[in-house]
Amino acid sequence: MNLITIALLGFFVGALLLTIAWTVFGKLIGSYSIQSQKTLILTWVLGPWVLGLMTMLFLSPLFEETALYNWMESFAHWHHLYVFQLASWHGVSVVVFALFSLGLIAIKGTQLYRQSNAIYTLKHFSMTEDHAQIQRGVQIIDSDIPTAFTSGFFRPICYVAKGLADKLNDKELNIVIEHEFAHARNRDPLTKLLIAFLSAYYPKKLAQLLNTKYALLTEHIADQSTVLLHSAEDVAATLVKVVRLNSASPKNESNTSLSFFGADDISLRVHQLLTPTRKSMPVIVLIAFMAVMLCCTIVAVDVTHHLVESVFTHS
């Protein structure tokens, strides 16, 4: 059980270090290509989990007989590795983390339940007479609101409102549908929900920023997929037209489980369509960054452990 405590301590220390790193490097992420930005966002979201696991492995008995462990023991080690008491700070840390995680699971589970009910309701408003679109995997909703979105976690479905379809020509409607198909292929509603869950362990402001950036990246990637079949100018023009139609309608509520065609920063999406960023983040830089974060995490875990041990005593 002490290994779990080590992992949790590494997790929280890693989250703190990555939060500090974001304040320094976060503004630079937008200068890289869409795929590099996605990799960086995933690195930040998964980073605390990876750092916690790696810290646990390095301080575990698995490396006890290795030269690496002997060298590392000179500046980082864990006292009483085989002694664990539930009433100690070790146990309290595990219990608090478990309760917090269960709370998050309950919240996301409630969202999943509500989303399932919403999908069921949407199907009742679908216009089944449009056989051509249904065969393509698109549900036409009998609604005057000009909107299109993708919903569903494991079997995403694309929805287009009649109020939007009636105001677009065939090419524009096809662009909207292809964009939503890209969301469905990429399982964006599900990945957005997972990102929302994993980022919830960060401070609220950073968690919201990571979710917003990831949502925008899913739109960029769907836009790029659409450009494979249509010109960037046509896609950008359709996007602007849909946004103008939406401006006279009620705003779409922020929802981590839905992917709206006209959502998120339109100016950035149009700019990326017309002048896409090509600069890539070298993999070696990312590996080096995480290696530095891991070393800092291991040292910080050792310092934190000794500091807490100096306050609390164990029998």
pLDDT at 134: 47
pLDDT value at position 1? 56
Specify the DSSP element, H or E, that contains 75: none
Residue type at 12?
F
Judgement on whether residues 118 and 226 belong to the same structural domain of the protein: yes
Each residue of 69-87: pLDDT tens digit? 565 666 555 555 555 555 5
131 with 259, same domain: the answer is yes
- Within 8 A by CB and 6+ apart from 276, the residues are 33, 34, 224
Phi, psi of 264 (to 5 degrees): 65, -175
pLDDT tens track for 104-160: 888 878 877 777 776 667 666 665 445 445 446 788 888 888 888 888 778 888 888
The whole-number pLDDT of residue 23 equals 92
DSSP 152: -
Residue at 39 is within a domain: no
Model pTM greater than 0.85?
no
Q: Is residue 107 part of a domain?
A: yes
* Residue 117 and residue 80 in one domain: no
Check residues 143 and 222 and name the one with the higher pLDDT: 222
The SS3 assignment for 60 reads coil
Of 93, 20, 89, 8, which is closest to residue 49 (Cα–Cα)? 8
- Based on the fold, state whether residues 168 and 313 are members of the same structural domain: no
The tally of domains found in the chain comes to: 2
The total number of residues written for the chain in this structure: 315
In a domain, 171, yes or no: yes
- Quick one: 54 and 120 in the same domain? no
CB 152 within 8 A of CB 132: no
Kindly state whether residues 194 and 50 are assigned to the same domain: no
Model confidence at 45: pLDDT above 90 = yes
Using alpha carbons only, what angle is made at residue 250 by residues 245 and 251, rounded to the nearest 5 degrees? 90
Q: What is the pLDDT of residues 163-196, one digit of tens each?
A: 898 899 999 999 999 999 999 999 998 899 899 9
Residues 172 and 301 in one domain: no
First CA to last CA distance, the chain? 16
Examine residue 34 and state whether it is found in any structural domain, yes or no.
no
Residue of 163, 169, 225, 215 lying closest to 188 (CA atoms): 215
Examine the domain organization and report whether 245 and 273 are in the same domain: yes
Residue 229 burial by Cβ neighbours in a 10 Å radius (0-12, 13-18, 19+): exposed
* Region label for 19, one of left (φ > 0), alpha (ψ between -120 and 50) or beta (otherwise): alpha
Residues 286, 266, single domain; the answer is no
DSSP state of 126: B
Q: Is the four-CA dihedral 262, 267, 271, 274 of positive or negative sign?
A: positive
Indicate whether 260 pLDDT > 70. Answer: no
133 lies in some domain: yes
Asked if residue 67 and residue 155 are part of one domain, the reply reads no
Whether residue 36 lies inside any domain: the answer is: no
Report the pLDDT value the prediction gives residue 276, as an integer from 0 to 100: 87
Same domain, residue pair 254 and 294: no
CA 174/CA 262 separation, integer angstroms: 15
Burial (CB count within 10 angstroms: exposed 0-12, middle 13-18, buried 19+), residue 258:
buried
Q: Which domain holds residue 162?
A: 95-280
Question: What pLDDT is stored for residue 98 in this prediction?
Answer: 83
CA distance 286 to 224: 24
Q: Judge whether 100 lies within some domain.
A: yes
Residue 132: predicted pLDDT: 47
Q: Is 275 within the bounds of a domain?
A: yes
Residue 141's alpha-carbon distances to 7, 38, 88, 128, 188, in angstroms, are: 48, 32, 57, 9, 21
Examine the domain organization and report whether 153 and 250 are in the same domain.
yes
pLDDT band (50, 70, 90) for residue 19: very high
Per-residue pLDDT band for 251 (boundaries 50, 70, 90) equals low
